[in-house]
């Protein structure tokens, strides 16, 4: 605790605020880059002609997974794996498309299914923390604004302290998500590299790798953004105690 107080003592609210702005700008750039890459590779058809659904089903089969269903869900970039229902959920743009982007995304989501089947520890930890993090996210939205008001006008830090604690849980979850996402992409790319019936050229493999890299970067900047926000409110709370 003394080490944390020592660190926060050197972090002014102004520097934390500046860090938040920098990360927000970087996040916008990364999001734009990811969406532009996805659009670019969505327009490049696979030489194999396989759809996202077919890629996902092939990868699951090749990994000996027969109890996971591949389904289509509404929305854009809504692709995800649900360990509770054991479903690989693909957006229509991925499920039906026969592009490099759809193959990369489908394989990535199946990477999570492979993690689940293999008992990958980071995914297990992330799954356990989901309900706690959902509750913490709701608490953050309620407590931070009220907490700041009470801190400045009533000199009562309790509500803000609760908000900071909840935000710490959300931040921890965002960092635990990083190895889960990077590992899923690694599994996807390893399978694609060894399966030339799906991607038949080196160029397609490089395009898939590029798309997944930028997707991973969105998680990185999100985690850093959460950390910067946590430092901002924690420094506010710490400065009030002096």
Q: Catalytic pick from 54, 57, 109, 204?
A: 109
Structure confidence at residue 152 (pLDDT): 85
Domain count for the chain, please give it: 1
> Is there a contact between 172 and 140 (Cβ–Cβ < 8 Å)?
no
**Averaged over 26-53, what is the pLDDT?**
93
Residue 13 has pLDDT above 60, yes or no: no
Residue 62 lies in a domain: no
Specify the DSSP class assigned to residue 242: -
Residue 15 lies in a domain: yes
Q: Per-residue confidence at 201, pLDDT binned at 50, 70, 90? A: confident
Q: Average pLDDT over the chain, rounded to whole?
A: 90
Percent above pLDDT 90 for the chain:
76
Residue 211 lies in a domain: yes
Lowest-confidence segment of 5-14, 80-89, 168-177, 213-222 by average pLDDT: 5-14
Residues 6+ apart with CB under 8 A from 97: 42, 51, 52
Q: Is residue 109 flagged as an active site residue?
A: yes
Residue 67 lies in a domain: no
Instruction: Please indicate whether residue 10 or residue 62 has the higher confidence score (pLDDT).
Output: 62
Structure confidence at residue 55 (pLDDT): 96
Q: Per-residue confidence at 8, pLDDT binned at 50, 70, 90? A: very low
Q: Outline where the chain has alpha helix (H).
A: 2-9, 13-42, 52-62, 92-95, 100-118, 121-153, 158-193, 202-240
Q: Per-residue confidence at 11, pLDDT binned at 50, 70, 90? A: low
Residue 10 has pLDDT above 80, yes or no: no
Its domain, for residue 194, covers 2-45+99-240
Residue 140 lies in a domain: yes
Q: Per-residue confidence at 186, pLDDT binned at 50, 70, 90? A: very high
Q: Per-residue confidence at 235, pLDDT binned at 50, 70, 90? A: confident
Structure confidence at residue 110 (pLDDT): 98
**Averaged over 203-226, what is the pLDDT?**
94
Residue 73 lies in a domain: no
Structure confidence at residue 197 (pLDDT): 74
Which two three-digit tokens encode residue 161?
Answer: 């302290």
**Averaged over 153-174, what is the pLDDT?**
94
Structure confidence at residue 76 (pLDDT): 86
**Averaged over 229-239, what is the pLDDT?**
86
Structure confidence at residue 241 (pLDDT): 61
Residue 179 lies in a domain: yes
Residue 70 lies in a domain: no
> Is there a contact between 200 and 48 (Cβ–Cβ < 8 Å)?
yes
Structure confidence at residue 199 (pLDDT): 84
């Amino acid at each position: 605790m003394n080490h944390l107080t020592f660190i926060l003592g050197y972090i002014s609210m102004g520097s934390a605020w500046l860090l938040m702005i920098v990360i927000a700008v970087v996040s916008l750039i990364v999001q734009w880059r990811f969406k532009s890459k996805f659009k670019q590779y969505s327009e490049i058809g696979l030489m194999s002609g396989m759809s996202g659904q077919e890629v996902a089903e092939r990868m699951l089969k090749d990994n000996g997974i027969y109890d996971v269903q591949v389904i289509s869900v509404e929305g854009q970039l809504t692709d995800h794996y649900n360990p509770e229902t054991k479903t690989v959920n693909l957006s229509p743009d991925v499920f039906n498309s026969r592009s490099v982007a759809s193959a990369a995304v489908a394989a990535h989501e199946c990477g999570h299914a492979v993690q689940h089947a293999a008992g990958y520890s980071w995914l297990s930890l992330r799954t356990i923390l989901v309900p706690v993090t959902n509750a913490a996210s709701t608490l953050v939205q309620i407590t931070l604004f009220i907490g700041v008001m009470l801190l400045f006008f009533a000199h009562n830090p309790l509500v803000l302290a609760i908000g900071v604690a909840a935000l710490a849980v959300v931040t921890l979850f965002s960092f635990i998500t990083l190895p889960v996402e990077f590992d899923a992409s690694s599994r996807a790319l390893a399978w694609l590299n060894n399966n030339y019936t799906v991607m038949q050229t080196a160029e397609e493999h490089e395009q898939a790798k590029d798309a997944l890299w930028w997707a991973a970067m969105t998680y990185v900047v999100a985690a850093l953004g959460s950390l910067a926000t946590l430092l901002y409110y924690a420094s506010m709370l710490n400065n009030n105690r002096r």
